[in-house]
Amino acid sequence: MNAVFAGAQRLRDRSRHAAPQVFDLIREKIVALELAPGTVLSRTELQASFGLSATPIRDALLRLQEEGLVDIFPQAATVVSRIDLAGARQAQFLRRAIEQEVVRTLAARPDRALLARLGGLVAEQEAFAEADDFARLAASDEAFHRTLCEAAEVPDLWDLIRRESGHIDRLRRLHLPVAGKARQIIADHRGIVAALVEGAPERAQERLRDHLSKSIALGDEIRARWPSYFA
């Protein structure tokens, strides 16, 4: 595990408290599957990697537990949780409900600056897909959806989506390298942007709903490919 966090101390922002930074970094590596389900997280090793005392490490792990990303067994071990398909389905239901209303709101009042930002994100996603850079593609995908929520003036709802999405995000990361998936994401994003440009709320909702339904629809198939990653 030490190799996963090599250089972690250099990443610390002295203007922020330590625990949130540790949480963000570990969460990122769990969602990216650099820390695979079932990985044991040693608090001693984490303290050494980050150059921190026990308290911020404990606080970060407790937050990860709240999001269902680790299982803490007192006096025993902390383990990266396995992907829970039922939890993934609930998170996807929540996300679809929120984001359909977001795109409906945005389509009713098209904004040129927003459309330009979204177009730029789709363009960079094309470049990342061409380079098979799935990590940066996933980050840009997240930025696309976060930008929608911020433009609709519901940033706190994006934070809620993020907190609830650990299981579905890992499912999507398993799906992302499958042939054709990256291109499908980009085509879906282009379709959503086109509906916003047209000022077509129902079409924007339809394209968003279809976009957010693909990975979960293949949940059982993905689990069959990586059975050890699932509960």
Question: Chunked in runs of 10, what are the mean pLDDT values of the chain (231 residues)?
Answer: 62 74 94 96 91 93 97 91 96 96 97 97 97 96 98 98 95 93 96 98 97 90 95 93
- Decide: 211 and 125 in contact? Cβ < 8 Å: no
Identify the pLDDT of residue 16. Answer: 75
Q: Where are the domains of the chain?
A: 2-80, 85-229
Residues 6+ apart with CB under 8 A from 80: 30, 35, 36, 37, 38, 39, 41, 69, 70
The domain over range 2-80 is classified in CATH as 1.10.10.10: yes
**Which residue type occupies 179?**
A
Distance CA 142, CA 84 (A): 21
* Residue 36 to residues 17, 105, 183, Cα–Cα distance (Å): 26, 38, 25
* Residue 65 to residues 104, 186, 230, Cα–Cα distance (Å): 34, 32, 17
- Options 1.20.120.530, 3.30.2350.10, 3.30.930.10, 1.20.58.100; CATH for 85-229 is 1.20.120.530
Identify the pLDDT of residue 42. Answer: 93
Handedness of CA 115, 118, 120, 126 (dihedral sign): negative
Residues 6+ apart with CB under 8 A from 56: 17, 18, 19, 22, 50
- Fold agreement (2-80, 85-229): no
Identify the pLDDT of residue 10. Answer: 56
